[in-house]
Amino acid sequence: MRIDTRTGDRRGVEVHGFDPADAAADDLATLRRHIYHDKIVVLKGQSLDITEFVALGTEFGTPVPYYEPMYHHPDNELVFVSSNLDRDTGRIGVPKTGAFWHSDYQFMPEPFAVTLFYPQRLPTASRGTYFIDMAEAYRRLSPRLRDAITGTYCKHSARRYVKIRPSDVFRPLGELIAEVERKTPAQRWPTVMTHPVTGEQVLYLSEAFTYAIEDASATPLPETLLTDLLTESGQLDDRYEHENIFLQSYEPGDLVLWDNRTLIHRALHNPSNEATESLRVTVLDEYPLTREDAA
C-alpha cells in the first residue's frame, strides 16, 4: 500500500495498491487516521461487489441503513444508491441526490462519522463532488462572526430536501410534512463543535439542513447571522469560486472515504442527464459527534 499526499487544489490522500480482501490491521488503522486527519482518502483501482463494499465499511465503523428504504440497494439495505439508470428490471435507488450543501445525516440524532462513496457509472463530464472543510471555514471566519457564535446552537432539519416517494402520490402535502416532522424531528447541535478525534473546532452547519441559530437558552438569534455564516463559509457562492470550496473528481475504480463531521459536500450533477450511478455506505464510529467540552 502506498499513500500519496495530494498537493495544490487536490485535497486529502491517494492510496494505491490497497486490497480490502487482504488488508493488514496496520494498514486499516493507517487509513482510519488519514480519514480523520486528511479528511479525504481516495482508494484507487477498486473493484468490489456489494458485499465486499459493505465489508470494507465495517472496517471504519458500523454501517447504518438509510432511514428511507427507497434508497436501498435491492441486495443490501446498507448500500444507498444514487442512480438515474432505467433498467429492464426497474429503477433502483433515487436519481439526483445530494445536490445541495450538507453533511450526511446532519438532521438525525446520530450523524454519520464516515461516508464511503463508490461511483459505478460516471458521466463523461461534470463528474465529482464539491467539498468545504468546515474546520478551515471556522478558522477563516471573521472575528466578528466567531465572537457572535460563541456558545450558540444551530437547528437542523431534513424538511426542505425530503424527496417525495412514489407511494406518496395523491397524499395531502400537509400530511406528508407532518410525517417528516414526526420521523425526523429537528436536531440541535453546538454551532462550533470539537472533533472527537482531531480536537479541531468545526463550524457545524449547512445550507440544506440548518434552519435556525439560537443562544444557549434557546432564544432565537437573527436569521442574518446564519446567512452571514453560510456566506463566509462559501455555501452561497453559486459559481463555486469561494476559496473554501474544492472539487473532488472521480476516475473509474475510485472509492472515496471522507470525514463527515468536518466536511460538507454537494453533488455535482450533469445537466445532460447522462447515465450516472453511485453507491454509498455510511458508518458510525465509536466516538460522539462532538466532544463534551464543545463551545
CB of 98 to Fe ion, least distance (A): 4
When CB distances to Fe ion are compared, the closest residue is 98
Positions 89 through 108 that interact with Fe ion (CB under 5 A): 98, 104
Closer of 18 and 112 to Fe ion (Cβ): 112
Mapped onto helix, strand or coil, the DSSP state of residue 107 is coil
DSSP 46-106: ----HHHHHHHHHTTSEE---SSGGGEETTEEEEEEEE---BTTB--SBSS---SSB-TTT
Site for Fe ion contains 200 (CB under 5 A)? no
Residue 98 or 190 with smaller CB distance to Fe ion = 98
3-state secondary structure 244-270: CEEEECCCCCCEEEEECCCEEEEECCC
The least CB distance from residue 32 to Fe ion, in Å, is: 21
3 φ/ψ angles, rounded to the nearest 5 degrees: -115, 120
Q: Which is nearer to Fe ion, 104 or 254 (CB)?
A: 104
The DSSP H or E segment spanning 212 is strand 210-214
Please say which residue, 12 or 228, places its beta carbon nearer to Fe ion.
12
Strand partners, 120: none
Number of residues that bind Fe ion (CB under 5 A): 2
Smallest distance, Fe ion to C-beta of residue 134, A: 14
CB of 207 to Fe ion, least distance (A): 13
Q: Residues 56-95 vs Fe ion: string with x where CB under 5 A?
A: ----------------------------------------
Count the neighbouring beta carbons within 10 Å of the beta carbon of residue 143: 7
Which of 46/206 has CB closer to Fe ion? Answer: 206
Whether 70 and 62 have beta carbons less than 8 Å apart is answered as no
Find the binding residues for Fe ion in span 133-162 (CB under 5 A). Answer: none
Other beta carbons within 10 angstroms of residue 233's beta carbon come to 27
Q: Are 173 and 159 in contact (CB under 8 A)?
A: no
The nearer residue to Fe ion, 105 or 138, going by C-beta atoms, is 105
From the CB of 229, what's the least distance to Fe ion, in Å?
Answer: 20
Which amino acid type is present at position 237? D
If the CB atoms of residues 117 and 153 are measured against Fe ion, the closer one turns out to be 117
Shortest Å distance, C-beta 269 to Fe ion: 13
Please give the Cα distance from 233 to 133 (Å, whole number): 9
Smallest distance, Fe ion to C-beta of residue 210, A: 15
Q: How far apart are CA 88 and CA 178, in angstroms?
A: 35
Integer-rounded Cα Rg, in Å, for the chain is 19
Residues at the site binding Fe ion, with contacts judged by CB under 5 A: 98, 104
